[in-house]
Amino acid sequence: MHPATAKWYDRRDSVYIEFCVADSKNVKINFEEAKFVFSCLGGTDQVKHENEVDLFEGIDQNESIHKRTDRSVLCCLRKAEPGKAWPRLTKEKAKLTWLSVDFNNWKDWEGDSDDELGNFDNFPEGGDGDMAFNTQEAMAKMMNNMGGEDCLPDLDDVDDDESADSDDEKMPDLE
């Protein structure tokens, strides 16, 4: 058995862990109050992976969920105490070779509003218990927050003659 490579990040109400296992089969996740166990068969060789994690703080095992894709398994662990930051995933400070921080999704959320695009609440559950991404809705929210043409300054009143710099003189030819 091999531990699966994983990345994690912290949010206000949840902690997210992505197990990077391609073509996973027989995914089993056991959420407990202070730990969880992940196991599956993965890859073309169908290697057995298993990870057991004693968590930094407690979670609500009934509200914790996961979703499987062809490339990974993403777990959302609902915090028992929302609003409390986790400086690490594990109870112990030991460095686990298979675990790293997901810096692409990490953000300093303390002081931010509860409205987060990365929240699992934006992804409604499918009929099979796995999560189904609603990417169009998430993309629409992201695009609305980015702004558009209304954010650009009005350049119609700029006169090209007035904008000429004093250092725009002709350069001498090179010999």
Predicted confidence (pLDDT) per residue in 52-93, tens digit: 999 999 999 999 999 999 999 999 999 999 999 999 999 999
pTM of the full predicted structure?
0.63
Domain boundaries, the chain: 6-82
pLDDT exceeds 80 at position 41? yes
Q: Give yes or no for a contact between 21 and 73, defined as CB atoms under 8 angstroms apart.
A: yes
Predicted confidence (pLDDT) per residue in 159-170, tens digit: 555 555 666 778
CATH class of the domain defined by 6-82? mainly beta
What is the C-alpha to C-alpha distance for residues 130 and 168, in angstroms, rounded to an integer?
A: 63
